[in-house]
Amino acid sequence: MRTTQYLSEILMELHPSAELISDEAAEALVNGILDSKKVFVAGAGRSGFMAKSFAMRMMHMGIKAHVIGETVTPGFEKEDILIIGSGSGETKSLVSVAKKAKNIGGTIAAVTIFPESTIGQLADIIVQLPGSPKDQSEGDYNTIQPMGSLFEQTLLLFYDAIILRFMEKKDLDTNKMYGKHANLE
């Protein structure tokens, strides 16, 4: 198969994802972010990269967004929200972060394949995404892609959709957001 044919296959796998995500859960996440003082994101591996890209776009919108584990990340407080993207919902380091946030009393959101996971059980807001875990032993999706690629791609696109919903709710456009883009290069 040619590379472009693989790309077409990946896009076909991603296409039905939107229909499988709860609008109510997505809107609860949007409102949870809007109601919070600061937003914290976390994820491990490629899911962590998706979280960082989400934090960047929130910063472009003027939201105080931070990545767990960065040296300049401030303390988490009761008025804050922690959004954890984890396919399995069982990544030990993320479970630990979720437990700490729960003890502090802030809001926890889980974006995961498995809402019944440990992180899902700790969460106040759960958004279930379609996909397969890294070992592909469970999950509702069959995929040609390795490991958790389908979940990670869906996670990025879901986070981008959340940004578009914020833009709509806050009456922002790309020109207003561009003013917050890095300008020291």
Active site residues: 152
Give strand pairing partners of 42.
Answer: 84
Helices (H), the chain: 3-14, 23-34, 45-60, 92-104, 118-122, 149-169, 174-178
Query: Is-contact 147 113, C-beta < 8 A?
Result: no
> Residue 133: which of 109, 120, 118, 114 has the closest Cα?
114
Any idea what the Cα angle at residue 66 is, between residues 58 and 121, rounded to 5°? 95
The number of beta carbons lying within 10 Å of the beta carbon of residue 44 is 18
> Residue 110: which of 142, 167, 77, 151 has the closest Cα?
151
